[in-house]
């Protein structure tokens, strides 16, 4: 559950605002990839472990997480989590109806879709902060292994998750954008 707006720190409010801006840009990019309007929920802040679990639970079994480290700006890590049905739709839109049977091509398309969304997200945050924010090379993993990726990050990540759900009206396309800032960077999140 998100903290009430009046009990959150100004730094956390700024991070949520940044995540909302980034998620809006990522939703626009996903809309262009799948050829349909994509909506987003207001970003939710949760403790890291329960926040990641909640994002995974809303998407159901299966799917993939595309994980990135973020350099510059807030620093930290990001993951794009897609349901299996969403992945099939994205790959079909990107590569054609017969592509889903080609395992290596599918993996490449999923990584690229995650890269497009996170690049739009990071670029929007960088524009607001007046800093360069660069995502790492994407790591494709099972959503259940996301905690292992986060635990291995150096420098350590903050104890919060800022999650934004993205979806179409029919919920055929559904995913989550998960931002975990570096520990100690919340105070440096001032907007230009």
CATH number at residue 140: 3.40.1550.10
> For position 5, what pLDDT does the model report?
44
Within a domain: 104:
yes
Within a domain: 66:
yes
Within a domain: 2:
no
Per-residue pLDDT reduced to its tens digit, 36-70: 999 999 998 887 666 565 666 666 666 788 999 99
Within a domain: 83:
yes
Is residue 20's pLDDT more than 70? yes
Domain that holds residue 181: 9-187
Q: How many separate domains does the chain show?
A: 1
Per-residue pLDDT reduced to its tens digit, 101-136: 567 777 888 889 999 999 999 999 999 989 999 999
Within a domain: 4:
no
What pTM was estimated for this model as a whole? 0.83
CB-hemisphere CA count at 13 Å for 23?
28
Within a domain: 37:
yes
Within a domain: 44:
yes
Q: How far is CA 30 from CA 86, 117, 119, 129, in A?
A: 11, 7, 12, 23
CA distance 125 to 130: 8
> For position 28, what pLDDT does the model report?
96
Within a domain: 1:
no
């Amino acid at each position: 559950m998100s903290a009430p707006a009046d009990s959150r720190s100004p730094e956390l409010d700024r991070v949520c605002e940044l995540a909302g801006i980034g998620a809006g840009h990522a939703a626009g990019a996903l809309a262009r990839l799948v050829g349909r309007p994509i909506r987003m929920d207001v970003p939710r802040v949760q403790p890291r472990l329960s926040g990641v679990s909640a994002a995974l639970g809303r998407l159901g079994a299966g799917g993939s997480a595309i994980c990135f480290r973020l350099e510059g700006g807030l620093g930290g890590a990001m993951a794009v989590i897609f349901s299996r049905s969403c992945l099939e739709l994205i790959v079909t839109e990107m590569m054609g109806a017969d592509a889903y049977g080609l395992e290596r091509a599918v993996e490449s398309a999923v990584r690229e879709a995650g890269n497009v969304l996170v690049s739009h997200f990071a670029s929007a945050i960088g524009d607001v902060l007046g800093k360069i924010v660069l995502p790492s090379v994407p790591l494709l993993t099972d959503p259940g292994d996301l905690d292992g990726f986060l635990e291995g990050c150096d420098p350590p990540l903050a104890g919060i998750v800022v999650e934004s759900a993205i979806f179409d009206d029919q919920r055929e396309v559904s995913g989550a954008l998960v931002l975990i800032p570096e520990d100690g960077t919340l105070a440096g999140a001032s907007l230009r």
